[in-house]
C-alpha cells in the first residue's frame, strides 16, 4: 500500500515526539525529524485558486549570483521594470512575485517574511499559468538574502539558474545547486551572452553534466542585445513545463524525493537504536551488583549485631538503631549512578532508566527495614534449627517424666518393703535406700534440665541470623527489580525499533516513479 508523504511525515513526527517525551530519543536526534520542512509549492495556494483556474500555476524562480542579470530577465519578461536591477540589487532584501491577476496568491503561508515581498500582477492570459519569482542575490554581502532564498526554496517548482560568462563557476550558488539538485526542476540560463564565448558555454554544460544532469537545458540570453538569443525558447519550454500533467509529475516527484529523504533519516535513527547494547549493560550491572552486595553486607555487619543484641535483650522491641544508614544508602546510590553513567557511555537512553532507578533508590530503605524486621522476628519466634527444637522438646518432656518415673520406682520399693517388713523382723527402710532414692530422683530431673539449658539456642544468634537472612532477601529483591527494569527498557527499545521499521517499510512501499527518457522532465530533473 502506498502512503502519502505528508501522512508518513506526520506519523514519523508523532513517533519522534513520543520517543522524545519518554526520553528514548534525545533532542538532537528527534530534531532531525521534527525539523523536516513540510512546505511545498502547492502550499502557496492555501487560500485556493480562482474559479477560472483548473489547476495551480507553475512556480518558477530566478536564482543566481550577484550581477548575472536575473532581475533584467524578469523585467524583459514583463516588458517593464518590476524588479530592481543594477547597482542597487546586491543590497536589496526583496523577493519579487510576478503573476497573472487571476491567481489567488495573496494569502501567503505563515513564516515567510512578508515585509520582504513585492507582488506585481499582469493581465497577459498567455502567461497566466506561471508565477515568476525574482530571488535576492544568494552570494551578496547581505546575509538576509541567503535566509530569504532558503525560506522560499520549498515553495518552488522550477529554478532558473542564471549565470554570466564571467561568473558561471560561482561556488556559493553552485553548492546550493548540489544540495538542492534533486528537489526541483532546473533550467539554466547563461545571460549576458553578448560577452560570452563558446568555450565558456561548453564548459558550463560539462560542469552540469558532472553534477548529474545528462542533457541539461541551457539557454543563452542577452538583455542588452536580445536579437537572436534563446529567450523565446526558454519561455516556450517553461510553458510546456507548466502543463497540468507536468505540474502533477513535479509534485509527485517532489513528494517522492522527500519520502526518500525521510526514509534516510529514519534509517539513520534505526541504526542508532539498533546499536544500543542492553546485553552489555546487563553484564556490566552483574559485576557491579556483585561488588555492591558484598560491600553492603560487610558494612552492615556491625549494625546487624547491635540490633540482634538489643532484640535478644528486649524481645524484639522498637529501638533507635538504624540499620540502613546514610552510608548504606550512599553506597547503593553510587552503584546505580554508575550504572546510569555506563548507559550514557554506550549510547543507551538514560532518562527512563534514571527515573526507574530513582524509584528503587527511594524504596530501598523501606524494603530493607521491612524485610529484616520480619525475618528477625520470625527467627526469635522459632530460634535454633529443627534438631535443636526437637531436642528441646525431648528434654522438656524428660524434665517432667523422668522424675515422675524415678519417684514411681522409689514409691514402689517403699510400698514393697513396707509390706514385707510387716511380716518379717528386718526393717524395710535403710540409709542406703534413702540415699539411692534421693540420687535417683535428683538425677532424673537434673540431667534433662541440664541438657535443656545447654541445647537452648542463643536469642542473639537467632536474631542475627534472621536479620542477615532478611538483608539477603531484601538485596535479592532489589537486584530483581533492577534486572526487571533493564529487561523492560530493552523490550521498550525493541518496540521502538519495530515501530520505526514499520515507518521505513511504508516509505519503501512508495517507489520512485519513472520519467520518460529524453522527455522535458527528464532533461530538467537531476538524474537518479
Rounded CA-CA distance 200/193 in Å is 10
* CATH architecture for the domain at 41-242: 3-Layer(aba) Sandwich (3.40)
What pLDDT is recorded for position 495?
A: 94
Q: Is the pLDDT of residue 408 over 90?
A: no
Q: What's the average model confidence in pLDDT over 399-421? A: 75
| Predicted confidence (pLDDT) at residue 389 exceeds the cutoff of 70 | no
Give the number of other Cβ atoms within 10 Å of residue 497's Cβ: 15
Measuring CA to CA, how many Å separate 504 from each of 310, 327, 386, 467?
A: 66, 50, 65, 56
Q: Coil, strand or helix: which one is 163?
A: strand
What burial class does residue 396 get, using C-beta atoms within 10 Å of its C-beta: 0-12 exposed, 13-18 middle, 19+ buried? middle
CA distances from 509 to 50, 495, 528 (A): 35, 21, 18
What is the model's pLDDT at position 284?
Answer: 96
Return the C-alpha cell found at 298.
560487610
| pLDDT tens, residue by residue, 124-173 | 888 889 999 988 877 655 666 777 787 888 888 999 999 999 888 876 66
Beta-carbon contacts of residue 512 (< 8 Å; ≥ 6 apart): 256, 260, 528
Whether residue 301 is predicted with pLDDT greater than 50 in this model: the reply is: yes
pLDDT value of position 266: 93
* Mean per-residue pLDDT, 280-291: 95
pTM to 2 decimal places: 0.72
What single DSSP character describes residue 457?
Answer: P
How much is the pLDDT for 87? 43
User: Helices 386-421 and 431-455 sit at what angle, rounded to 10 degrees?
Assistant: 170
Least confident of 27-31, 119-123, 386-390: 386-390
Per residue in 217-253, pLDDT (tens digit) is: 999 999 888 888 999 999 999 999 998 888 888 888 8
With H, G, I as helix, E, B as strand and everything else as coil, classify residue 243.
coil
Q: What is the mean pLDDT of the chain?
A: 82
Question: What is d(CA 122, CA 103) in angstroms, rounded to the nearest whole number?
Answer: 10
Quickly list DSSP for 106-135.
-SPPTTS-GGGEEEEEE--GGGTTEEEEEP
Residue labelled with grid coordinates 532558503: 150
- Beta strand segments in 379-421, E: none
**pLDDT tens track for 445-472:** 787 777 666 666 667 777 888 888 999 9
Alpha-carbon span 466 to 470, nearest angstrom: 6
Quick: pLDDT tens for 178-217: 676 677 899 999 999 999 999 999 999 998 888 888 889 9
Residue ranges of the domains in the chain? 41-242, 278-383+459-502, 386-455
In the block, cell 502519502 appears at: 4
Amino acid at each position: 500500500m502506498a502512503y502519502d508523504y505528508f501522512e508518513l511525515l506526520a506519523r514519523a513526527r508523532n513517533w519522534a515526539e513520543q520517543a522524545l517525551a519518554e526520553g528514548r530519543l534525545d533532542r538532537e536526534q528527534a530534531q532531525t525529524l521534527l525539523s523536516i520542512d513540510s512546505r511545498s509549492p502547492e502550499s502557496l495556494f492555501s487560500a485556493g485558486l480562482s474559479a477560472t483556474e483548473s489547476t495551480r500555476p507553475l512556480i518558477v524562480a530566478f536564482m543566481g549570483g550577484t550581477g548575472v542579470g536575473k532581475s533584467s530577465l524578469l523585467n524583459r519578461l514583463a516588458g517593464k521594470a518590476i524588479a530592481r536591477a543594477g547597482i542597487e540589487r546586491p543590497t536589496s532584501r526583496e523577493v519579487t512575485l510576478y503573476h497573472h491577476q487571476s491567481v489567488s496568491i495573496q494569502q501567503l503561508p505563515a513564516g515567510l517574511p512578508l515585509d520582504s515581498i513585492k507582488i506585481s500582477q499582469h493581465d497577459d492570459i498567455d502567461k497566466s499559468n506561471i508565477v515568476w519569482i525574482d530571488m535576492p542575490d544568494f552570494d551578496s554581502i547581505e546575509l538576509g538574502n541567503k535566509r530569504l532564498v532558503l525560506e522560499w526554496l520549498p515553495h518552488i517548482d522550477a529554478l532558473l539558474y542564471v549565470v554570466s560568462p564571467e561568473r558561471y563557476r560561482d561556488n556559493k550558488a553552485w553548492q546550493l545547486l548540489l544540495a538542492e539538485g534533486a528537489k526541483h526542476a532546473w533550467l539554466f540560463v547563461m545571460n549576458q551572452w553578448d560577452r560570452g564565448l563558446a568555450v565558456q558555454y561548453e564548459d558550463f554544460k560539462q560542469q552540469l553534466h558532472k553534477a548529474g544532469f545528462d542533457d541539461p537545458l541551457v539557454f543563452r540570453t542577452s538583455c542588452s542585445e536580445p536579437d537572436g538569443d534563446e529567450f523565446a525558447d526558454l519561455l516556450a519550454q517553461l510553458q510546456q513545463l507548466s502543463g497540468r500533467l507536468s505540474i502533477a509529475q513535479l509534485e509527485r516527484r517532489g513528494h517522492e524525493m522527500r519520502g526518500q529523504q525521510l526514509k534516510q533519516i529514519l534509517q539513520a535513527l534505526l541504526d542508532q537504536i539498533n546499536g544500543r547494547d542492553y546485553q552489555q549493560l546487563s553484564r556490566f550491572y552483574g559485576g557491579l551488583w556483585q561488588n555492591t552486595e558484598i560491600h553492603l553486607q560487610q558494612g552492615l555487619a556491625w549494625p546487624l549485631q547491635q540490633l540482634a543484641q538489643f532484640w535478644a535483650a528486649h524481645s524484639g522491641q522498637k529501638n533507635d538503631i538504624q540499620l540502613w544508614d546514610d552510608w548504606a544508602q550512599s553506597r547503593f546510590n553510587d552503584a546505580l549512578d554508575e550504572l546510569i553513567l555506563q548507559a550514557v557511555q554506550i549510547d543507551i537512553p538514560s532518562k527512563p532508566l534514571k527515573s526507574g532507578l530513582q524509584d528503587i533508590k527511594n524504596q530501598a530503605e523501606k524494603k530493607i527495614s521491612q524485610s529484616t524486621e520480619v525475618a528477625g522476628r520470625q527467627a526469635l519466634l522459632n530460634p535454633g534449627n529443627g534438631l535443636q527444637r526437637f531436642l528441646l522438646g525431648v528434654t522438656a518432656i524428660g524434665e517432667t517424666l523422668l522424675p515422675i518415673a524415678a519417684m514411681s520406682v522409689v514409691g514402689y520399693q517403699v510400698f514393697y518393703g513396707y509390706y514385707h517388713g510387716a511380716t518379717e523382723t528386718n526393717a524395710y527402710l535403710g540409709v542406703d535406700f534413702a540415699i539411692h532414692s534421693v540420687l535417683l530422683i535428683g538425677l532424673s530431673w537434673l540431667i534433662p534440665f541440664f541438657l535443656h539449658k545447654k541445647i537452648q539456642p542463643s536469642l542473639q544468634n537467632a536474631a542475627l541470623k534472621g536479620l542477615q537472612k532478611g538483608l539477603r532477601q531484601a538485596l535479592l529483591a532489589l537486584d530483581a527489580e533492577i534486572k526487571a527494569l533493564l529487561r523492560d527498557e530493552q523490550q521498550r527499545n525493541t518496540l521502538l525499533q519495530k515501530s520505526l521499521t514499520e515507518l521505513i517499510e511504508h516509505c519503501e512501499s512508495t517507489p520512485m516513479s519513472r520519467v520518460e527518457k529524453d522527455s522535458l522532465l527528464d532533461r530538467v530533473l537531476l538524474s537518479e
